Amino acid sequence: MYHKVLVANRGEIAVRVIRACRELGVRTVAVYSEADRDALHVRLADEAELIGPAPATQSYLAVPAILAAAARTHVDAIHPGYGFLAENAHFAAVCKTWGLDFIGPEPETIERMGSKTGARQRMQQVDVPVIPGTPGACEEAEALAAAAEIGYPVLIKAAAGGGGRGIRVARSPEELRAVFGAAAREAASSFANAEVYIERYLDNPRHVEFQILADTHGHTLHLYERDSSIQRRRQKVLEEAPCPMLGAKLRERMAVAAVSAARAVHYVGAGTVEFLVDQEDQFYFIEMNTRIQVEHPTTEWITGIDLVKEQIRVASGEALTFGQDDVQVRGWALECRINAEDPDNRFMASPGTITHWSPPSGPWVRVDDGAYAGYTVQPFYDSLLCKVVTWGRDRPEAVARMSRALREFEVEGIHTTVGLHRRLIEDADFAAARYHTSWLEQTFMKRGEHRH
């Protein structure tokens, strides 16, 4: 096991990794920007290193500064969390060059799965279903020909994309011509790669993802699934595990496909294989996230397995200490992402100082956060403040517990999405699991019931 790990991130995920390391007896080094001097992860780590000014490009994305901090503090490994450099193959490779373990998969795996077109092609080779579309990146004329063959509507997607950016929907040839260039420009701006490809657009699918763990000793397991269908602008808002609409046979088929996908790219570590499930229960691979996910606590609740600690153990060369048959689902878990945003004002970011912070607690309630009373929410980074996660013996109990927890949550000084989640969790459609990837925006938000 490692002696010391540098956590190349901030906020709640940095806090989460620091806590996991402490339980493993591993010392930690936090890195921070000038804006994050008083951040919780800085307070909790054994050591802390300033790496640059507030903008992420000059701090949390500044590879030389992070590696210099690692050298000064003599760490064995770097944990990237999620976001920032977590899926940066170059950073993973440079860590290896510097003699540091990157707590994640091999650089080649990150690069292979980071290309959406390359990942689609590899999945087709191992018989994992993919959505019909172009085999790789295409020009506008090729896109029009492909759309005519597979049928409208279609999605134009960034080949190097993620996080919902670089995506456009076209329902006709005219619309495809109108949005193709915009999708390519957004892809170039977001990912420094203007390549896009085409795939069939699925109306109102479910977004279902399978958690994977794999070690260097040939063991690849799944830890069942999460439903991440409640989304706004293709950004996840609320997740639950397991998926309320998945039958046993479909679950088994998807689990087999997820493990096949991970083995096909020689995956090592914690990762997530993401699928869309259409209204006829056909499922399709969409991408693999080669990192720990924001929503990993729901899987931890229902399996009793600490994913971050297992991720660190695997990276250090240890074998998984359990087999597939040891992974059992017990109960139900929900996660609400609480952001510093104002839902009543087009979800505008709400930076500022938190004057009062009283998160919920009590039986089977978990809050992963990086905030506290007196903490100043910075405008430079993602608006996620914390995650409220609840467990119940069944879905109704988990939902009732989440409702209770959200009503206990008190935050003053900034706007948050706590109120939105209170209404969401008590919605009749949600209670009946009648939702899909467009439901939040097309149905719930238009009713106006999200307002305080």
pLDDT at 176 over 60: yes
Confidence of residue 94 (pLDDT cuts 50, 70, 90): very high
Distance of CA 408 to the CA centre of its chain: 26
Helix (H, G, I), strand (E, B) or coil at 10: coil
pLDDT tens across 49-71, in order? 999 999 999 999 999 999 999 99
pLDDT at 208 over 90: yes
pLDDT at 163 over 80: no
Confidence of residue 452 (pLDDT cuts 50, 70, 90): very low
How far apart, in whole angstroms, are the C-alpha atoms of residue 46 and residue 65?
Answer: 19
Q: Which residues are catalytic?
A: 291
Would you state the pLDDT for residue 160?
82
pTM value is 0.92
Helix (H) or strand (E) holding 285: strand 283-289
| Tokens 């238009």, residue located | 446
Residue 53, Cβ neighbours under 10 Å: how many? 14
In the chain, % of residues over pLDDT 90:
90
Would you state the pLDDT for residue 21?
98
Beta pairing, strands 77-79 & 4-7: parallel
Rounded to an integer, the average pLDDT of 100-115 is 95
CATH T-level fold of 4-103: Rossmann fold (3.40.50)
Residue 281, Cβ neighbours under 10 Å: how many? 13
Q: What are phi and psi of 155, to 5 degrees?
A: -105, 135
Rounded to an integer, the average pLDDT of 250-269 is 97
Pick the CATH number of 206-447 from 1.10.3720.10, 3.30.470.20, 3.30.1490.20, 3.20.20.100: 3.30.470.20
| Least confident residue range of 29-33, 133-137, 371-375 | 133-137
Rounded to an integer, the average pLDDT of 340-356 is 96
CATH T-level fold of 132-200: Dna Ligase; domain 1 (3.30.1490)
Would you state the pLDDT for residue 115?
87
Q: What is the residue extent of each domain of the chain?
A: 4-103, 132-200, 206-447
**How distant, in Å, are the alpha carbons of 176, 296, 335 from that of 230?**
26, 16, 11
Would you state the pLDDT for residue 451?
52
pLDDT tens across 352-409, in order? 999 999 999 999 999 999 999 999 999 999 999 999 999 999 999 999 999 999 999 9
Residue 267, Cβ neighbours under 10 Å: how many? 23
How far apart, in whole angstroms, are the C-alpha atoms of residue 25 and residue 119?
Answer: 37
How far apart, in whole angstroms, are the C-alpha atoms of residue 310 and residue 318?
Answer: 9
CA angle 417, 423, 425 (to 5 degrees): 95
